[in-house]
Structure 1
């Protein structure tokens, strides 16, 4: 898969700013008194950097060279071990907490998802915590994304026109399955579009997978304020413990 254009990467933090999701993950790490934190799919490192603390090891892994280049240029980046790759690139050592934020779990295809969970299990100490969020398949959010009209905004590199196209939705009656999308990005007429897939997994499916791979689920939340999951919840947030 082609990497993101660096001009689009520069806009990532504007579109995905620090907020309640980051507060949740930071509180989780602090509550665990974590001495070693793994951020798989760390992106630009906007959250990863904030885990840095005296005596704590932080590892950020991402498959995008452009994202990692941006992360390495952040203030405080020296407090993080940045690694290009996926779960197979996790360095040796027992981590206290591993996270996948920003719906990273949905970008991992079904063929690679069990191996990813197994790699994360191996990277955690017994009793270590894995936390991540995923969109609830029921609301079928991709429909609203792809039905929205194109939008335009000014950037340091020119006028950016953006919209989404649906390429394929291979989902069941509950919205569970794989959705292929095209992110259309035209920067002063230059086409910077890219295709991607999202795996929409139900809460029940994820619970079964975690159990089969050696995790005990200790909590599932319906938002970043730890409310119960409802049928119309946009996301569910998982906290699991390595057996």
Structure 2
């Protein structure tokens, strides 16, 4: 079940405005070029920011997400229908023979159980061609970013085109490692409505992620720093083994 920020019909349209310019995405565009990927699968594509960028660069792109409200936003960014948008998750994918699968943002951390993560890895592997690549990021547990989140409690107010002024308040609600939970409350100033979105992320360390990839039939080629958040993220670059 996707979090409300992605799935609620009032929250999905405000996501892009709050998230800004997505400074994390240029690194993924560069990796697509580096690997020479022609067909890219964007797992947890959300509102389609990366998928549309890649389509603009002539790539064949498939975006999959379990939140229909987010996919509606994504489709509106792609009026020509260049991207194939799929409602579902990695376990429902057809055999695409994609060159590269990516997961940006917090997507890799929303799989809270070992079984859900393993099934996701299998689904992605089945959607890739033999020798295809899988690239994703995950936050370094040792950085303890939730402590920064807990201190940053000031409300953020933005004006969303077509919607009006919206205020967001953020709160860390529980820390029981490897799980960290938080809640965002969005107040729509036009009518006073408040809609909340609760989330939980799992923080896996480098060895745990590497072991899960190896068990899932991947070979880890590289573990990089995230250029936009140095020292805070692992960026895994893995290759899909033969079947």
> TM tier, shorter chain?
0.7 to 0.9
Question: TM-score of the superposition, structure 2-length normalised?
Answer: 0.86
Structure 2 residue runs without a partner (length 5+): none
Deviation at 1:225, TM superposition (A): 7.6
**1:221-240 superposed matches below 5 A:** 221-224=224-227, 233-240=231-238
Within 2, Cα distance between the matches of 1:207 and 1:120?
A: 16
Structure 2 contact 92–123 (Cα < 8 Å) conserved: no
Structure 1 residue runs without a partner (length 5+): 172-176, 228-232
1:126 aligns with 2:124: no
Q: Provide Cα deviations, 1:74-133, integer angstroms capped at 9, x if missing partner.
A: 145511110111112212221110000112101222241111011111211121110000
Q: 1:53 to 1:158 in 2, by over 3 A?
A: closer
1:168 pairs with one of 174, 177, 192 = 174
Within 2, Cα distance between the matches of 1:16 and 1:63?
A: 19
Within 2, Cα distance between the matches of 1:234 and 1:140?
A: 9
**1:59-78 superposed matches below 5 A:** 59-75=62-78, 78=81
Within 1, Cα distance between the matches of 2:226 and 2:58?
A: 31
Question: TM-score of the superposition, structure 1-length normalised?
Answer: 0.86
Structure 1 contact 44–68 (Cα < 8 Å) conserved: yes
Structure 1 contact 222–235 (Cα < 8 Å) conserved: yes
Partner of 2:185: 184
Within 1, Cα distance between the matches of 2:200 and 2:8?
A: 18
Partner of 1:196: 199
1:116 aligns with 2:114: no
Within 1, Cα distance between the matches of 2:58 and 2:23?
A: 25
**1:1-243 superposed matches below 5 A:** 1=1, 3=4, 4-52=7-55, 56-75=59-78, 78-110=81-113, 111-156=115-160, 157-171=163-177, 177-188=178-189, 189-224=192-227, 233-243=231-241
Q: 1:187 to 1:146 in 2, by over 3 A?
A: farther
Deviation at 1:215, TM superposition (A): 0.8
Q: Whose helix proportion is higher, 1 or 2?
A: 2
Within 2, Cα distance between the matches of 1:116 and 1:152?
A: 34
Deviation at 1:141, TM superposition (A): 1.2
Q: 1:56 to 1:162 in 2, by over 3 A?
A: closer
Structure 1 contact 218–240 (Cα < 8 Å) conserved: yes
Aligned-partner SS, 1:109: coil
Structure 2 contact 95–126 (Cα < 8 Å) conserved: no
Deviation at 1:55, TM superposition (A): 7.3
